[in-house]
Amino acid sequence: MGGGAAVWGGFSSFFSIWQVCILQISPFFIAFIVGIYLATVGKKADPEIRRWLLIPCITYGIGFSVFYSLLIASGLNISRPLIHNIGLLRVVSGIIILFVGLYILLVNRISFLGKIHTPLLLSTLSLLIGVTFALVYSPCITPMLSDIMGIASQRNTAVEGWYMAFWYGLGVSIALCMTSVALILFAGRQEIVLRNANLIKNICGIILLILAVMNITGLMRHYKAFVLGFVL
């Protein structure tokens, strides 16, 4: 199995029944990207806005894929401490997501935040969101991921497995980013969205705050059990 097949495996899983498992993170990523888009729209030159979305999508993909693949590759020395401290890391992730949610809520209210609202900052936040989402995610093991994990769990093939897990995670991220950008291109120009941009942005911020609280308090398992269980 090569990197291309792994990317395709991750990408196609997003648009299949496996999306149910990805629902652990996908609505929250959409809330994040829509939130930062609506915090930017109308304030910056229009063609720039697209660039403000695409670069954060790339940094999200990198952050998510790197940590996702490290967690998958249990044969790597670095993987064990990450998994053994996953509870603490999820709390820390919750705190980071809390700050990102607050940023989206307050960016138009506090002038200092407005000044630092740059593509660089958004790309950094996206990178952090990517890392935190990999940590809070409990993947359902698809047949292809099962094969990758089998390879990644052996010490002598762990690097090869990590490499494939990285591409698999990138495939999931590409699909998620494409869906989010398509949603923004489709709905972002609608009059009703622009008229209520601030309200929608705030809702996006609140959705991220809910995710943050769920991870800090350990309630995330209730979200998984009830929401994902309900969909199935």
Partner 1 sequence: MNAKSYKLLIILASAGLVLALVVTGLLLTQGDAKNEFSSKSSAETKEPVPNFTLLLIDGKNFNLSDYKGKPILINFFASWCLPCREEMPALEKIAHEYKPKGVVFLGIAIDDTEEKMKNFIAKYGVTFPVGLDKTAAIQKSFGLYGIPTTYFIDKRGIINYFHSGSVTEELLQHELDKLL
What residue ranges bind partner 1 (CB under 8 A)? 1-2, 4-5, 7-9, 11-12, 17-18, 20-21, 46-47, 50, 54, 71-72, 74, 79-80, 83-87, 138-147, 149-151, 153-154, 157, 171, 174, 178, 181-182, 185, 220-222, 224-226, 228-229, 232
Give, to the nearest 10 degrees, the angle between helix 46-72 and helix 158-187.
150
Please give the helix or strand (H or E) that residue 44 lies within, else none: none
CB of 229 to partner 1, least distance (A): 4
> Cβ closer to partner 1: 118 or 138?
138
Supply angle C-alpha 196, 99, 127, rounded to 5.
Answer: 95
Q: What is the dihedral of CA 45, 46, 52, 57, to 10 degrees?
A: 180
Structure tokens at 226: 């009830």
- Residue (42 or 150) nearer to partner 1, CB: 150
Closer residue to partner 1 in complex, CB, 87/111 = 87
Q: Compute the least distance from the CB of residue 226 to partner 1, in Å.
A: 7
CA distances, 116 to each of 6, 57, 98, 110, 124 (Å) = 37, 19, 18, 10, 12
Of the pair 84, 109, the CB lying nearest partner 1 is at: 84
